[in-house]
Amino acid sequence: MDLRKKIKELLPGWLEGPAPEGDVVMSSRIRLARNLQGYPFPHQADGKALETVVEKVKNALKRTTFTLKRLDDMGQSDRLLLVEQYLVSPDLLKNPSHRGVMVNPEQTVAIMLNEEDHMRIQSILPGLALQEAWEEANRTDDLVEAELDYAFTEKAGYLTTCPTNVGTGLRASVMLHLPALQMVGQVKKVLSVLSNVGLSVRGIYGEGTEAAGNLYQISNQVTLGLTEEEIIGKIVSVTKQVMDQERSAREALLGKDSRLQLEDRVHRAYGILSEARLITSEEALKLWDHVLLGVKLGLISGVTVEQVNELFFLIRPAILQHLIGSDLPPHERDYYRAEVIRNHLKTKRG
């Protein structure tokens, strides 16, 4: 198989397409927590009840293009691939029995089955596109609700395992790349005030994970008492303020007093990435962060933002191993990761 074709198959489908405000915003995601009426929440349900949920959701979408991927039919490497493609959460992998994910062909919508709730309907799109992601998730939600009864009350809204999701059940988030704010020592100050307006900051794989590569997820804390439009509007408004501060920090770094240091940092990072023979995923992500900033600011030529964005996924262990075609011990992954990075950066795009 052609290497470029194989890379395209492994990269998440949602990565394609226009990315509004893509110089700062990597992606937008909407997640709806839903449970079926008359069935225990997943942590209290037995195997029979969990299996019934899977079959009911599958049948509800049988006339659509969604396909079911069952975790208990997969090896661990294939399960991790779904995590690295942002189609499922790490928590879904903890107990794969009677669990799975339904995915549309474009991979812009995925429905996790029997994670914390019976369903987690997720839509993810590149750039700042929360409204569009909400519309996609809402359409899917309507398709399921037309066939199945949700656990819902007029007073509390959608009933969920965790009380913080009761109400709309909506969690909206944006993934931001904030390297300049980190370089000028302002990222913690900027993000620390978000809790005051009902927002939280998480890492690259959501709740319980740490930020890496200067990537941060901003999401709502409250789902009860606000409409979906109000939640999305607040996040978009705050995101634009953070974007403005990141862009101002980038302009400051390009000033005559700091430009040379910035150029040195991004070119050193590019030099290592483009020539290294061994590299860990942790080191690659740190260098990726600097190179992406350098390309966005026009300090590094001959490489596109698309190429560097794709590298974020290609350096991950499961995607890398699927690209190579075999499971590898860590030291061999470091060798092949370096080779993949070198070749990818040298690929000319038309």
Res 208: pLDDT: 47
Alpha carbon distances (Å) from 340 to 82, 312, 333, 336, 343: 20, 12, 10, 6, 5
First to last CA, the chain: 21
Which two structure tokens, joined as six digits, stand for 156? 């509390």
Residue 208: left if φ>0, alpha if ψ -120 to 50, beta else—which one?
left
Average the pLDDT over 159-170 and give the result. 91
Res 348: pLDDT: 59
Res 319: pLDDT: 95
For domain 3-251, the CATH class is: alpha beta
Residue pLDDT, tens place only, 289-340: 999 999 999 999 999 999 999 999 999 999 999 999 888 888 899 999 999 9
Angle (CA) 256-260-265 rounded to 5° is 140
User: Which residue in 86, 64, 82, 84 sits closest to 73, CA to CA?
Assistant: 82
Share of the chain above pLDDT 90, in %: 83
Q: Which comes out higher in pLDDT, residue 222 or 83? A: 83
Range 313-336 burial, b when 16+ CB lie within 10 A, else e: bbbbbbbbbbbbeeebeeeebbeb
257 contacts 315 by C-beta, under 8 angstroms: no
Average the pLDDT over 136-150 and give the result. 97
Does the pTM surpass 0.85? The reply is yes
Res 203: pLDDT: 74
Amino acid at residue number 132: E
Share of the chain above pLDDT 70, in %: 96
Q: Where in the chain is the domain with CATH 3.30.590.10?
A: 3-251
Which two structure tokens, joined as six digits, stand for 67? 């396909």
